[in-house]
């Protein structure tokens, strides 16, 4: 309950990403937050106040000139009686209003009247996000102390275009909220207080030349969720992350790397630890000799050949290290023979558990929000049902707590 007792004023503005606000409400409330929603007129074209009210268990505020809500100057009360104002999604129009001090509806009036911290999660078409006017408004808002989470890069739901403009995922927004409110600190109180954890996450980028690289299709969502779940239980967590576009989890120490060799060095530097969870999708190979300049295509010449070298096996290194953590857990991303390959990896790497999953393209696991894993241990295999990656993280964190408590 990392947000227990905290009051979040959630402003939902009009865009297709408004549907994500429904999951955001659920995620905030399951962490103990009291969510009070404000919806613009445009937002109500995408999701209904009835749905938002049911999920938030709160009255939904929609009108600046409501006779009922404004009897006690309701917009000022909303603006002040909260710990944080979150705008998700934040459209280009609402950003422009805030940046220029407009107050022609309830949402913009509240944002002008508040003296509380403000977090915006922008969502719009990539060309709108890159427009000079939007960039100016963002810079103005940042200069005024407004915080941002996202937007991310990907395909737009409404147009089929791709680029920067996707609203941050609800769990990323929650992590930013936790960070701003300072509720989760490194090495906090909880059942894992005093325990040290190492988590790896995301892909590695192995350079070919200054502009190209070899990588795996990992978003880092699962690794980041596990790091956050362990921190919520009070562990002192070091998260070693490859290049990702998601927010840092609250309450963890983050070490950013790009290459597999850098990740190995960072993991070894973080030892000793009580538990190591190796989630990162580390590239198995790197280019033996990286080009100093961009490799150019030359008419009439065959494509250049790339000589590959094997990258360090980080999980195996940790599993057989002199300072081996008491609990070593690895992930096995497979496209066939999931159980067999996972069990072989368990023995070879010296791990206590392997979480094996099928990452074939049709599963949508790589980069998606859900996962289905097999927990493979020395005493057998346990099939976990499909669930959200944050739920997988919570379940694994509970297992880690149980095993470390028994040692």
What tokens does 147 get?
A: 């915080």
With respect to residue 2, please indicate whether it lies within any of the assigned structural domains: no
pLDDT, residue 71, reads: 47
284 and 401 inside one domain: yes
234 and 126 inside one domain: no
Question: Which residues, in sequence order, are CB contacts of 53 under 8 Å at separation 6+?
Answer: 37, 59, 60
**Which among 137, 216, 357, 371 is annotated as catalytic?**
216
What tokens does 41 get?
A: 């007129």
208 and 109 inside one domain: no
Q: Is 331 part of any known ligand binding site? A: yes
With respect to residue 142, please indicate whether it lies within any of the assigned structural domains: yes
Residue 259: alpha-carbon gap to chain centroid? 21
Query: Which CATH number belongs to the domain containing residue 117 in this structure?
Result: 3.40.50.1950
- Beta-strand relationship, 84-90 and 118-122: parallel
- 293 a catalytic residue: no
Q: Is 296 part of any known ligand binding site? A: no
Q: Tell me the C-alpha distance between 147 and 248, whole Å.
A: 14
CB contact at 8 A, 237 and 397: no
Query: Which CATH number belongs to the domain containing residue 320 in this structure?
Result: 3.40.50.10300
150 and 216 inside one domain: no
pLDDT, residue 68, reads: 57
Residue 258: alpha-carbon gap to chain centroid? 18
240 and 362 inside one domain: yes
335 and 387 inside one domain: yes
Given 163, 180, 197, the domain boundary residue is 180
Q: Tell me the C-alpha distance between 94 and 320, whole Å.
A: 55
Per-residue pLDDT tens over the stretch 18-65:
999 999 999 999 989 999 999 999 999 999 999 999 999 999 998 876
Q: Is 403 part of any known ligand binding site? A: no
160 and 192 inside one domain: no
Per-residue pLDDT tens over the stretch 120-134:
999 999 999 999 999
Q: Is 294 part of any known ligand binding site? A: yes
118 and 209 inside one domain: no
For the chain, which residues score pLDDT lower than 70?
1, 65-75, 156-160, 182-189, 367
pLDDT, residue 159, reads: 58
Q: Tell me the C-alpha distance between 316 and 328, whole Å.
A: 10
Residue among 220, 190, 229, 249 nearest 30 (CA): 229
351 and 297 inside one domain: yes
Given 129, 154, 180, the domain boundary residue is 180
Residue 165: alpha-carbon gap to chain centroid? 16
162 and 217 inside one domain: no
Q: Is 115 part of any known ligand binding site? A: no
Question: Quick check: bond before 272 cis, omega within 30?
Answer: yes
Q: Is 314 part of any known ligand binding site? A: yes
Task: Count other Cβ atoms within 10 Å, centred on residue 205.
Answer: 20
162 and 221 inside one domain: no
With respect to residue 284, please indicate whether it lies within any of the assigned structural domains: yes
Q: Tell me the C-alpha distance between 270 and 241, whole Å.
A: 13
With respect to residue 244, please indicate whether it lies within any of the assigned structural domains: yes
Given 150, 180, 210, the domain boundary residue is 180
CB contact at 8 A, 225 and 298: no
Q: What is the SS3 string spanning the chain?
A: CCCCCCEEEEEECCCCCHHHHHHHHHHHHHCCCEEEEEECCCHHHCCCHHHHHHHHCCCCECCCCCCCCCCCCHHHHHHHCCCEEEEEEECHHHHHHHHCCCCCCHHHHHHHHCCCCEEEEECCCHHHHHCHHHHHHHHHHHHCCCEECCCEEEECCCCCCEEEEECCCHHHHHHHHHHHHCCCCCCCCCCCCCCEEEEEECECCEEEECCEEECCCCCCHHHHHHHHHHHHCCCEEEEEECCCCCCCCCCCEEEECCCHHHHHHHHHHHCCCCEEEECCECCCEEECCCCCCCCCCCCCCCCCCCCEEECCCHHHHHHCCCCCCCEEEEEEEECCCHHHHHHHHHHHHCCCEEEEEECCHHHCCCCCCEECEEEEECCEEEECCCEEHHHHHHHHHHHHHHHHHHC
With respect to residue 1, please indicate whether it lies within any of the assigned structural domains: no
With respect to residue 147, please indicate whether it lies within any of the assigned structural domains: yes
What tokens does 406 get?
A: 């028994």
Give the number of domains in the chain.
Answer: 2
CB contact at 8 A, 146 and 118: yes
CB contact at 8 A, 388 and 373: no
Q: Is 106 part of any known ligand binding site? A: no
Range of the domain at 195: 185-406
67 and 109 inside one domain: yes
Kindly tell me the burial class for residue 151, based on how many C-beta atoms sit within 10 Å of its own C-beta (0-12, 13-18, 19 or more).
buried
């Amino acid at each position: 309950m990392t947000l227990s007792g905290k009051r979040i004023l959630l402003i939902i503005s009009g865009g297709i990403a408004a549907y994500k606000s429904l999951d955001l409400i659920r995620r905030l409330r399951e962490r103990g937050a009291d969510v009070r929603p404000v919806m613009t007129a445009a937002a109500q074209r995408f999701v209904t106040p009835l749905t938002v009210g049911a999920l938030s268990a709160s009255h939904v505020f929609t009108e600046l000139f409501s006779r009922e809500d404004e009897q006690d100057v309701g917009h000022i009360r909303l603006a002040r009686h909260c710990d944080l104002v979150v705008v998700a999604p934040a459209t280009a129009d609402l950003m422009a209003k805030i940046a220029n001090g407009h107050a022609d509806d309830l949402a913009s009036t509240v944002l002008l009247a508040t003296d509380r911290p403000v977090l915006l999660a922008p969502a719009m078409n990539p060309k709108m996000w890159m427009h000079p006017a939007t960039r100016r408004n963002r810079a103005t808002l940042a200069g005024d102390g407004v915080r941002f989470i996202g937007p991310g890069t990907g395909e737009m739901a409404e147009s089929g275009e791709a680029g920067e403009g996707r609203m941050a995922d609800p769990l990323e927004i929650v992590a930013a909220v936790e960070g701003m409110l300072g509720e989760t600190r490194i090495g906090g109180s909880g059942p894992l207080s005093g325990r040290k954890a190492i988590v790896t996450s995301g892909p590695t980028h192995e350079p070919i030349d200054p502009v190209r690289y070899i990588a795996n299709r990992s978003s880092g969502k699962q690794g980041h969720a596990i790091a956050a779940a362990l921190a919520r239980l009070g562990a002192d967590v070091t998260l070693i992350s490859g290049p990702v576009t998601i927010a840092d989890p609250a309450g963890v120490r983050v070490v950013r790397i790009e290459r597999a060799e850098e990740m190995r060095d960072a993991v070894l530097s973080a030892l000793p630890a009580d538990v190591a969870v190796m989630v990162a999708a580390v590239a198995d190979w790197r280019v033996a000799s990286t080009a100093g300049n961009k490799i150019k295509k030359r008419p009439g010449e065959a494509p250049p050949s790339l000589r590959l070298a094997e990258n360090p096996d980080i999980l195996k290194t940790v599993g057989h290290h002199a300072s081996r953590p008491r609990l070593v857990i690895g992930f096995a991303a497979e496209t066939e023979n999931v159980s067999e390959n996972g069990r072989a990896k368990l023995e070879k790497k010296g791990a206590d558990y392997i979480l094996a999953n099928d990452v074939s393209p049709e599963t949508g696991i790589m980069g998606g929000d859900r996962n289905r894993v097999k927990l493979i241990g020395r005493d057998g295999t346990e099939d976990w049902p499909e669930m959200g990656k944050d739920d997988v993280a919570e379940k694994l964190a509970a297992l880690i707590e149980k095993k470390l408590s028994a040692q």
